[in-house]
Amino acid sequence: MQSSAGPHEAGGGGNGDRGRPVGTAVFSLAAAGILILDQVSKLVVVRSLGLGQTIPVIPGLFNLVYVLNPGAAFGFLASLPDGVRNPFFILISVAAAVLIIVYHARHLRSQVLASLALGMILGGAIGNLIDRLRYGMVVDFLDFYLDRYHWPAFNVADSAISVGVGLMVLGMLVEWWRERGARRPQ
């Protein structure tokens, strides 16, 4: 059964509370699940492979590797001095986590897709933050390639952040499409 109430009016008495527990649970479970999956997978890699070691999984397409990435995504800012780079990325990660939590609590608790997306982004950000605090760099281990063309190695946290951003964009496009349709004369 569909309600004619808007996204901020859903729930008993028009206060929007009915969807909030679901959105908050999705947000929390996504963040915790990604964080656990990320840290467990990195622990397995660190304990099972030597730094720089490669294990072919699908020849010509996919390897497991153990590399440490001092930069951000795709090695961005990796050339900065350690004394600047690591504190910078730690500060950015903490600020991003706080902003995500506050934004979700204030604006998106009743929106399940946005909650899932932000939970994935938060879990990934915290996963990479833990690596920076522990190793001063991020553990990457997923290596996709075709012939001699390699995508930069990445990890579960990076994947979750990318998928989370994609889901946020998808959610915005769906909302735009709905609003566009609602403005058309019937």
> What are the residue numbers of the active site?
140, 158
As a dihedral over the C-alpha atoms of residue 52, residue 55, residue 58, residue 63, rounded to 10 degrees, the angle is -20
Distances 118 to 70, 142, 152 between C-alpha atoms, Å: 24, 23, 24
| Token reading at 23 | 């959105």
124 within 8 A of 158, measured Cβ to Cβ: yes
As beta bridge partners, residue 183 has none
* Cβ proximity of 127 and 31 under 8 Å: no
- Largest Cα–Cα distance in the chain? 65
How far apart are alpha carbons 146 and 98 in whole angstroms?
38
